[in-house]
A and B are shown apart, each in its own frame.
Chain A
Amino acid sequence: MSTAACSLSGGDQPAAPGERVVTLVTHDSWAARPELLEEFRRESGIKVEVRKSGDAGALTNQLVLSKANPIGDLAYGVDSTFASRALAENVFAEYRSPEADKGPQRYAIDSSARLTAIDVGDVCVNTHPETLAQKGIPEPKSFEDLADPRYKDLLAVESPLTSSPGLAFLLGTIAHFGEPGWTDYWRRLKANGVKVVRGWEEAYGQEFSGSSGKGQRPIVVSYASSPAAEVAPDGKPRTKALLDTCFRQVEYAGVLAGAKHADDAKKVLDFLASQRFQAEVADTMYVYPARDGVPLPPSWQTAAPAPVTPLAMPSDRVQANRERWVEQWRALAQG
């Protein structure tokens, strides 16, 4: 075990003795420029220690399980799919950030201000116009188009059982067609040869013709932001998001109830909602800033504009029906 000591000291600048440390618990998609966190550390005297805990679902459930003795001081990444579970379990403490007056409250989920919106991510159908043009098929626009025989065998989606964008797409169809209309829509999608895979890596990375995997299908469920990563050397986007098929998920941060460093955690939350941090979320995490008036990176303005009227669903409706909907979907799509 003597080598354990060397692994602890290596690879990271440890907090100086007496330094204030705030532990931020988050999901796997968290990313931030190390220099930005270092800047915050210099100015505030607070070192942010980041701990990742799986996807948004795993994060939420870990917070619930450990609420008697929380594993950190604040959490970022509980999204609108899981927020009502976290709120019902009283995982978060009340805190109204002064920075949240600059826009994030437009996504407020909770009148007692326990969660502050940090960013929004939109799951949309993406297309590869080049392949569609080669096949001589016009661009699809809507959910309805995807069930049109012209688009037979061209769509790849993720399973809502195992994938967060897959679930968002299913919720989008439910929000759009209502109950029980969505079940009929999925029957038509199945008859039209929709390919269901486990996750985004297979759907986008392998099946989609517009990614580096150069797959066979020119239509895929991904994010509104994905085209920003597929820009050709001449600056033109190679892929496109269908802005009428988007389902919005909001990602929140909150100070954990019973946090050991609650006051410093509030400062970190202010920082996450600040102009400086918000300006970088697009580039580092492929999401849209929740704060009003934060410009998107130039390449995003043409390739990946934010959807204007995305579909959405209240968190408590998702939580109440999710298991039933997914079971119904399973019977339809895989039965």
Chain B
Amino acid sequence: MIATALIPLGFLAVFFVWPVAAIVHRGLSAGGVAAVLGRADTWELVGFTLGQAAASTAVALLAGMPVAFVTARVRLPWIGLLRVLVLVPFVLPTIVVGLAFRTLIPDGGVVAIVLANAFFNVAVVARTVGGLWTHLDRRAEDAARSLGASRLTAFRTVTLPALAPAVGSAAAVVFLFSATSFGVVLVLGAAEYRTLETEIYLRTVELFDLPGAAALSLLQIVAVLAALVAGAVARRRRESALRLRAKEETARRPVGPEWTVVALALAIVGLLMTPIVAMVLRSLSTSDGWGLAGYRALAGTGDRGVLAVSGVDAALNSLRTATDATALALVLGLTASVVLVSLRRGRHRAALVEAVDTALMLPLGVSAVTVGFGYLITLDALPGDLRTSPLLVPLAQALVITPLIIRIMVPVLSSIDTRLRQAAATLGAGPVRVWREVDLPLAARSLLSAAAFGYVVALGEFGATSFLARPDAPTLPVAIGALISRPGELNNQMAYAACTLLMVVTVAVVLLVERLRAPAANLGEF
């Protein structure tokens, strides 16, 4: 078991720890760290970074819980589409979302930053919490109700504690995403509001102040670790075995006040769609009325060849890269999740387990530019000079997706009742067979959900991709970035048409992945 753990940990060591340590070390060896830490505005940066991340997390949790409930517990014909629509914000480039929020909230500022971060992250809550909620046995809740508890009391005392691990997972991920949010903070804060992430970028890329950037990177790592440890402590107190059930058993038509939650969830999804609808309208509007010029141009390589390939080819590039990244991340994430869960069951030292768990999350909390510049001074030591290899794009994306898959899978895997596994073992099944016959069917739906989610994150990934993508093979987000930074009406329409294409591709892919759940269908037998 320990040996299996070496796969994800080794990946993390080579593609994360080594590059980050190298670039931070280079900065630190030049000195001057104490001066940065002594400045008052450094601590203002830390305060603002953590404050806006905490606020964004709170808003995303509040907005995400009703959506998680509806997608997990409610049986209505259009729920499948709702599950997918929630994911759409995740693929949109931050610059485009930033521009959309500037139109909706012209004064911008902190409120706009928090709302935009939450906009991206409602999907994290809906997916992570929904993943566990789907499999939660309804009978405990029903028992509480028949003993006289109100719906609210039953939710608070029975359902919520059972969901706590997933809520903790989601909160940790949203917090990390918001703490390292870059594009929306700059665009909506008009470069006036600064976070550790934006300042690290500025110091590294524009000023080449590596000592300053290294000092801030260390602060970022410490702050993220502190938040992760706090989250892990909260999680550990709550995780317990649950009786997991198949979706078919747990979802039903809403009754009574549940319709209120359904309405609330619909309203939230409606709000999420507002900037999206505005983008689609933008792609269709020309100086003389409505038109499809942007879409027509996208079939080619754009106005005077802004893009080296057609929009369709860019979409195919996106799909290829995302497939590679997701496949890699699934292997790494599932391995890591299984190892983490069995380490916990095996009564290994809890502190060690938590340390591994926390380490696996760190890539979400460290600046992409720190990792990217770290690659420059380390990866040439590996055979094949990965620094300039197209393989680096899916590798870097997998670094971001793997922690997400772990956070979705660990709560589900660890709530599988050990007695089921013991029963299977007693009946003569070996460990692999137990895993295949018990854990996998129970977790299958969550695994597909995690895969779809990872795929979407890879499709929308811009930071690492724009640094590494070859211009002759741009992904859609990279193409959108190129188009939106050019003057001219057609380029602008094309950029928004490309956004629409990206959204359509996303919805199609997720619908396809979620159709794959047939093998899990017979698990109602349990």
Q: Interface of A with B (CB < 8 Å)?
A: 1-4, 6-8, 10-12, 23, 28-31, 33-34, 49-55, 57-58, 60-62, 64-66, 69, 71-72, 85, 159, 161-163, 196-202, 204-206, 211-213, 222-223, 226, 229-230, 283-284, 286, 322-323, 334
Q: Is the CB of A286 within 8 A of B204?
A: no
B21 at the interface (CB under 8 A from A): no
Residues of chain A within 8 A of B323, CB atoms compared: 3, 7
Apart from the given pairs A11-B313, A31-B482, A202-B99, 18 other A-B contacts in the complex at a CB distance below 8 Å: A1-B328, A4-B324, A7-B320, A28-B485, A34-B301, A51-B388, A58-B205, A64-B208, A66-B377, A85-B208, A162-B186, A198-B189, A199-B191, A201-B99, A206-B102, A229-B487, A229-B491, A323-B207
Q: Does B316 contact A (CB under 8 A)?
A: yes
If A65-B373, A199-B187 touch, whether A205 touches B484 (CB-CB below 8 Å) is yes
Chain A residue numbers with a CB within 8 Å of B98 are: 202
State the CA gap A47–B217 with chains docked (Å): 39
| Nearest CB of chain A from residue B474's CB, rounded to whole Å | 9
Of the listed stretches B54-62, B121-129, B303-311, B345-353, name the one at the interface; the rest are far from the partner chain.
Answer: B303-311
* Total B residues in contact with A, Cβ cutoff 8 Å: 63
B466 touches A28 (CB 8 A): yes
Q: Is the CB of B95 within 8 A of A34?
A: no
Q: What are some 20 contacts across the A-B interface (CB < 8 A)?
A: A1-B331, A7-B323, A49-B470, A51-B470, A57-B205, A57-B206, A66-B376, A159-B191, A162-B206, A196-B192, A199-B186, A201-B187, A202-B187, A206-B99, A211-B487, A211-B489, A211-B492, A229-B487, A230-B488, A283-B304
Main secondary structure of the interface of B (DSSP, over half): helix
B467 CB within 8 Å of chain A: yes
**Is B317 on the interface with A (CB-CB < 8 A)?**
yes
> 1/0 per residue B191-213: CB within 8 Å of A?
11000001000101111110000
- Within the complex, the shortest CB–CB distance from A74 to chain B, in Å, comes to 14
Q: Which B residues lie within 8 Å of A334 (CB)?
A: 192
Is A162 touching B327 in the complex (CB atoms < 8 A)? no
Dominant secondary structure at the A interface: mixed
Contact assessment for B487 and A222 in the assembled complex, using a CB-CB cutoff below 8 Å: yes
Which of A30, A198, A213, A323 has the most C-beta atoms of chain B within 10 angstroms of its own C-beta? A198
**CB-CB < 8 A to B186: which residues of A?**
162, 198-199
A53 touches B467 (CB 8 A): yes
The reply to whether A11 and B191 contact each other, CB–CB distance below 8 Å, is no
Closest to A225 in B: B487
- Residues in B whose Cβ lies below 8 Å from that of A159: 190-192
B376, A62: Cβ atoms closer than 8 Å: yes
Given known pairs A12-B470, A201-B484, the reply for A34 and B373 (CB within 8 Å) is no
Chain B residue at smallest Cβ distance from A158 = B191
Known A-B contacts A50-B470, A198-B191, A229-B487; the reply to A62 vs B327 at CB < 8 A is no
Q: From B303, which residue of chain A is reached at the shortest CB distance?
A: A229
B287 touches A212 (CB 8 A): yes
Interchain Cβ contacts within 8 Å, total number: 166
Q: Are B190 and A197 in contact (CB under 8 A)?
A: yes
A334 CA / B209 CA spacing, docked (Å): 22
User: Is there a chain A Cβ closer than 8 Å to B115's Cβ?
Assistant: no
B75 within 8 A of A: no
- Flag whether B430 is at the interface (Cβ < 8 A): no
Closest to B205 in A: A58
> Nearest residue in B to A226 (C-beta to C-beta)?
B487
Residues of B within 8 A of A8 (CB): 390-391
User: Is residue B471 within 8 Å, beta carbon to beta carbon, of the partner chain?
Assistant: yes
Q: A25: nearest residue on chain B (CB-CB)? A: B388
A-B residue pairs, 10 tightest by C-beta: A229-B488, A159-B191, A229-B487, A7-B320, A212-B489, A162-B191, A198-B191, A212-B492, A226-B487, A58-B205
Q: In whole angstroms, how far apart are the Cα atoms of A4 and B390 in the complex?
A: 10
Within 8 Å CB of A226, what residues of B? 487
Bound-state CA distance A1–B484 (Å) is 33
Which B residues are in CB contact (< 8 Å) with A33?
305
**A11, B320: Cβ atoms closer than 8 Å:** yes
Complex CA gap A199/B184 in Å reads: 12
CA distance A283 to B491 in the complex (A): 13
The answer to whether the Cβ of B520 comes within 8 Å of any Cβ in the partner chain is no
Name which residue of chain B comes closest to A89, CB basis.
B208
A206 and B373 contact, CB distance less than 8 A: no
Given the interface pairs A161-B202, A162-B186, the reply to whether A62 lies near B304 with Cβ below 8 Å is no
B388 touches A71 (CB 8 A): yes
B486 engages A229 (CB within 8 Å): yes
B231 in contact (CB, < 8 A): no
Given A198-B187, A202-B187, A229-B491, answer yes or no on A72-B388 (Cβ-Cβ < 8 Å): yes
| Chain B CB within 10 Å, residue with most, of A6, A163, A229, A286 | A229
Q: Give, as a whole number of angstroms, the nearest-CB distance from B36 to chain A.
A: 13
CB distance from A236 to the nearest CB of B (A): 14
Q: Residue B87 at the A interface, CB < 8 A?
A: no
A residues near B309, Cβ cutoff 8 Å: 11
- B138 in the interface, Cβ–Cβ < 8 Å? no
- Distance (whole angstroms) from the CB of B494 to the closest CB of chain A: 11
